[in-house]
Structure 1
Amino acid sequence: MNSMLEWRSHLLPDLFDWFESGIAGLPGMRGAPGLHGIRIEEQITDDAYRLRAELPGLDPERDIDLSVTGDVLTLQAERREETEHKRHSEFRYGALARSVRLPSNARWGEATAEYKDGILTVTIPMSESKESASRTIRVQRKGS
């Protein structure tokens, strides 16, 4: 039984990587809903939310765009790259996007972003007191 669980745990990440990279010969697979071209890592600590994204070969000022709408952080990037060799040239380009839901106590107005060695790191401080997403409203009886 343990060997079966081990096999599954090793197989699933490979399958997800395969789907994420697209299936050759199937147009439209890449960029289909739920499939992303940007690999990320998320980390939540007591004081901050951190997102690291693999975006090698990009100019952060020209090619990367970050925005927050409501409680969703959206990362958009556009790759424009050309490699040339003596008898061969190749273009690699396209739009990439990834959205993540931020914790309710994230102070996105104080977010910072840094790009180094092909890795984008977004840090968003979080409030110490977690404001509850729900609250009770007391109903008062009004005289007739």
Structure 2
Amino acid sequence: MATLTRKQKFQFPEMPDWFETIPGKFTMPAVRIEDYMEDDRYVMRAELPGMSPEDIDVVISDGLLTVRAERIERDVDKNHSEIRYGELSRSLTLPSGADEDDVKADYTNGLLTVSVGLGAEKPEARHVEIRHGT
């Protein structure tokens, strides 16, 4: 009697994973993020699995939000490892009107969430006179 066996289907990796393996200008950032507006706040979430809050530094200065983290490699014999070790960082430009004094950060289940209030006065657009040299 014949035995039926099921062949495993080949599964392509997710597109972002492809770009991580191509060196050069297609390399994905070390810290994956998403950002959005929620109520009157700018919110940025960053994937930082396996970190502790002590390994993460969030800095806001001159309209720039920077997240830095460091994962230290354990000194054990490994058969295989795809885990990234070392320093990771990502910087984002804050939206107009961001209040750098109104910042909250939370790290839960491998996700860092930083929210920045948008209550600061937004300067109005102005036209700049263009001089014509002769």
Please say whether Structure 1 and Structure 2 have the same fold, judged by a TM-score greater than 0.5: yes
Write 1 or 2 for the structure with the bigger share of helix: 1
Q: 1:42 Cα deviation (Å)?
A: 0.3
One-letter amino acid of the structure 1 residue matched with residue 33 of structure 2: I
Q: Could you give the per-residue CA deviations for residues 53-88 of structure 1, whole angstroms, max 9, x where no partner exists?
A: 000111112x11111221111111111143858x85
**In the alignment, which of 32, 36, 39 is matched to residue 32 of structure 2?**
39
User: Counterpart of 1:8?
Assistant: none
Find the aligned partners of 2:53 and 2:21 in 1 and give their Cα distance.
Answer: 25
User: Counterpart of 2:18?
Assistant: 18
Find the aligned partners of 2:70 and 2:64 in 1 and give their Cα distance.
Answer: 20
Unpaired runs of 5+ residues, structure 2, are 1-13, 129-134
Is the contact between residue 83 and residue 89 of structure 1 (CA under 8 Å) also seen in structure 2?
Answer: no
Q: Could you give the per-residue CA deviations for residues 79-108 of structure 1, whole angstroms, max 9, x where no partner exists?
A: 1143858x8586751111111111111112
Q: Could you give the per-residue CA deviations for residues 98-135 of structure 1, whole angstroms, max 9, x where no partner exists?
A: 111111111121101000110000011111x7613533
Find the aligned partners of 1:83 and 1:124 in 2 and give their Cα distance.
Answer: 38
Is the contact between residue 40 and residue 117 of structure 2 (CA under 8 Å) also seen in structure 1?
Answer: yes
User: Counterpart of 2:125?
Assistant: 134
TM-score (norm 1): 0.65
Is the contact between residue 104 and residue 133 of structure 1 (CA under 8 Å) also seen in structure 2?
Answer: no
**In the alignment, which of 31, 41, 44 is matched to residue 48 of structure 1?**
41
How much is the aligned-residue C-alpha RMSD, in angstroms?
A: 3.2
Find the aligned partners of 1:135 and 1:34 in 2 and give their Cα distance.
Answer: 39
Q: Greater Rg, structure 1 or structure 2? A: 2
